[in-house]
């Protein structure tokens, strides 16, 4: 990718706040730099919103909520459909912008754009399928009618690791349901969201339905919105720690909340599994997004009968992966998002090695510009190692052996998180048994990827609550009203 192509893609993205259908500077006139994690250099500056801007954004979305709720569902769906088509048509330039602000290889950014756009298409189809029920009261004397109505103005906060998809998973169903929204992307990756807002504006989204705030101070812009009695819903994707704080902040207003939080996914390989297929799945589950995914396989629990074979084959695959700037040809592993994330990964590896783990591959952070960490495989990892308990968020695969099925399930569930687990086995009965016993919201059965716009994504335990995508995703933006009708 040439420097000119990079510049052209970034220059096409608006850098102001998007409030009430207008692009405007922050009221304080401040801006915030967006850094390329592969060089540490600024690629753009965006408006740095103030609490006054936050109030203006909420005002804009409240002003049009009533009208938007009654906007024909077919037209709401058609706006989403046009935005899906525009995202698809512009996938190359959007992917380049994403790589420049987030670091992942361009091919992976493009896959995210496809995935993100799919939520717009999926919910364009759901907009016209919001249905209620009609029934006769058990005593036969009345009728019971239920209807689904938009929740009302929503506030969405998204993380940096999937800068577009974490937005469309919220924006798609909100628009389809007839809700208006203020969205705040992570400060490290605001460009993808601003580009998306422009696409939705061009697709005909009425002014005020979607408003975007970019800010260097997430708490100071979020608090006035969360404390405002007009807000009806808070939807958050990010760390468990911040999710807990936001649930607390949303308690006085008794807001509807959806929380898509951290993970610590176990990847189980049983002795009857196809080991080569498990290794293929492990590469996807571990290395997608440079390991910076809430769904990333965090620990590999492998039957003692095949653990050595699995670890060696995995190390060989990871050793072949090219590390570098995500815009370069053939690169499969980009930089981590910032120095503190890279140093945290290094610390977790040191901790495991210090407790006796063997470093089969990698284990080092790279010197020089950018926040690179080499793909790493650790074996003989001791149970008290921090990286078995904490979200690694990097290209590090700890392999631990297990003796039998009960031990594997116990190890998998030994975490406060419960987002996703991966299971490799060729025994159908075992597959069902294990899937039923895993304390997670999702399971990848003989596959290393679960994300799909047509399926309900979400967790249990400290991974949060609520579902994004699938038939369930729109319900997060709808309230049920029951009408008791006398006959």
Residues in contact with ligand NAP by the rule CB under 6 A: 157-162, 166, 184, 186-188, 218-219, 222, 237-239, 242, 245, 260-263, 294, 391, 419, 459, 463
Instruction: Find all residues with CB under 8 Å of 356, minimum gap 6, and list them.
Output: 380, 382
Q: How far is the CB of 426 from ligand NAP (least distance, A)?
A: 29
Q: How far is the CB of 212 from ligand NAP (least distance, A)?
A: 12
Angle between helix 275-287 and 307-319 (nearest 10):
50
Closest by alpha carbon to 102, among 161, 158, 41? 161
Residue 105 or 238: which CB sits closer to ligand NAP?
A: 238
The backbone torsions φ and ψ at residue 117, rounded to the nearest 5 degrees and listed phi first, read -65, -35
Which residue's entry shows tokens 């190390």?
315
Residue 76 or 467: which CB sits closer to ligand NAP?
A: 467
Whole-angstrom CA distances from 182 to 91, 110, 139, 170, 214 are 24, 25, 45, 11, 11
Q: How far is the CB of 147 from ligand NAP (least distance, A)?
A: 29
Interatomic CA distance for residues 159 and 82, integer angstroms: 25
Closest by alpha carbon to 300, among 410, 384, 422? 422
- Which residue lies nearest ligand NAP, judged by its C-beta? 238
Residue 38 or 463: which CB sits closer to ligand NAP?
A: 463
DSSP string over 373-432: B--EEEES--TT-HHHHS---SSEEEEEEESSHHHHHHHHH-SS--SEEEEE-S-HHHHH
Residue 162 or 310: which CB sits closer to ligand NAP?
A: 162
Residue 162 or 270: which CB sits closer to ligand NAP?
A: 162
Interatomic CA distance for residues 41 and 343, integer angstroms: 19
Q: Which of 260, 391, 405, 476 is an active site residue?
A: 260
Residue 63 or 247: which CB sits closer to ligand NAP?
A: 247
Q: Which of 62, 292, 294, 405 is an active site residue?
A: 294
Interatomic CA distance for residues 233 and 152, integer angstroms: 7
Q: How far is the CB of 53 from ligand NAP (least distance, A)?
A: 14
Cβ atoms 14, 44 nearer than 8 A: no
Cβ atoms 98, 47 nearer than 8 A: no
Interatomic CA distance for residues 448 and 289, integer angstroms: 13
Our answer to whether residue 260 is catalytic in this structure is: yes
Angle between helix 73-89 and 91-102 (nearest 10):
80
Q: How far is the CB of 187 from ligand NAP (least distance, A)?
A: 4
Between the two ends of the chain, the Cα-to-Cα distance in Å is 70
Closest by alpha carbon to 415, among 241, 292, 264, 259? 264
Our answer to whether residue 248 is catalytic in this structure is: no
Residue 245 or 359: which CB sits closer to ligand NAP?
A: 245
How distant is the alpha carbon of residue 24 from its chain centre?
A: 27
Q: What is the DSSP letter of 367?
A: P
Q: How far is the CB of 417 from ligand NAP (least distance, A)?
A: 9
Interatomic CA distance for residues 243 and 157, integer angstroms: 10
Q: How far is the CB of 183 from ligand NAP (least distance, A)?
A: 10
Residue 149 or 187: which CB sits closer to ligand NAP?
A: 187
Closest by alpha carbon to 363, among 315, 409, 408? 315
Q: How far is the CB of 196 from ligand NAP (least distance, A)?
A: 15
Residue 237 or 385: which CB sits closer to ligand NAP?
A: 237
Q: How far is the CB of 341 from ligand NAP (least distance, A)?
A: 8
Cβ atoms 474, 174 nearer than 8 A: no
Beta partners for 148? Answer: 480
Both structure tokens of 144 = 């019971």
Closest by alpha carbon to 377, among 269, 283, 275, 264? 283
How distant is the alpha carbon of residue 433 from its chain centre?
A: 28
Active site residues: 260, 294
């Amino acid at each position: 990718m040439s420097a000119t192509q990079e510049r052209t893609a970034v220059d096409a993205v608006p850098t102001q706040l998007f409030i009430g259908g207008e692009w405007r500077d922050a009221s304080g006139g401040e801006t915030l730099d967006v850094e390329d994690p592969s060089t540490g250099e600024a690629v753009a500056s965006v408006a740095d919103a103030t609490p006054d801007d936050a109030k203006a954004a909420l005002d804009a979305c409240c002003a049009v909520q009533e009208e938007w709720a009654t906007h024909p569902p077919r037209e709401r769906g058609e706006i989403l459909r046009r935005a899906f088509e525009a995202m698809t048509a512009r996938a190359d330039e959007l992917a380049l912008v994403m790589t420049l602000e987030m670091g992942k290889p361009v091919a992976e950014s493009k896959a995210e754009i496809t995935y993100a756009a799919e939520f717009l298409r999926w919910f364009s189809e759901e907009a016209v399928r919001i249905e209620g029920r009609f029934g006769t009261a058990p005593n036969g004397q009345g009728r019971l009618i239920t209807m689904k109505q938009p929740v009302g103005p929503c506030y969405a906060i998204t993380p940096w690791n999937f800068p577009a998809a974490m937005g469309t998973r919220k924006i798609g169903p909100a628009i389809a349901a007839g809700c208006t929204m203020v969205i705040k992307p992570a400060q490290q990756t605001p460009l993808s969201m601003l580009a998306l807002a422009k696409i939705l504006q061009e697709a005909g989204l009425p002014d005020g339905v979607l408003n975007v705030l970019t800010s260097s101070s997430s708490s100071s812009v979020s608090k006035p919105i969360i404390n405002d009695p007009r807000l009806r819903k808070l939807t958050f994707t990010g760390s468990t720690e911040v999710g807990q704080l936001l649930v607390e902040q949303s308690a006085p207003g008794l807001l509807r909340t959806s929380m898509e939080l951290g993970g610590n996914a176990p990847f189980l390989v049983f002795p009857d599994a196809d080991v080569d297929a498990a290794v293929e799945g492990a590469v996807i589950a571990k290395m997608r997004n440079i390991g910076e995914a809430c769904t990333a396989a965090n620990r590999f629990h492998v039957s003692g009968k095949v653990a050595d074979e699995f670890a060696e084959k995995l190390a060989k695959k990871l050793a072949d992966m090219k590390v570098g700037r995500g815009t370069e040809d053939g690169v499969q592993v980009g930089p981590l998002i910032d120095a503190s994330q890279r140093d945290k990964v290094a610390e977790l590896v040191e901790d495991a090695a210090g407790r006796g783990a063997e470093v089969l591959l990698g284990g080092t952070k790279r010197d020089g510009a950018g926040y690179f960490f080499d793909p790493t495989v650790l074996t003989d990892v001791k149970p008290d190692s921090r990286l078995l308990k904490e979200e690694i968020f990097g290209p590090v695969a700890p392999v631990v052996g297990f003796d039998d099925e009960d031990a594997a399930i116990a190890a998998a569930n030994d975490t406060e998180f419960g987002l996703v687990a991966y299971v490799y086995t060729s025994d159908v009965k075992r597959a069902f048994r294990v899937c039923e016993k895993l304390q997670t919201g999702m399971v990848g059965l003989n596959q290393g990827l679960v994300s799909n716009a047509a399926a309900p994504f979400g967790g249990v335990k400290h991974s949060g609550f609520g579902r994004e995508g699938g038939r369930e995703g729109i319900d997060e933006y709808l309230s049920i009203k029951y009408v008791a009708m006398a006959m």
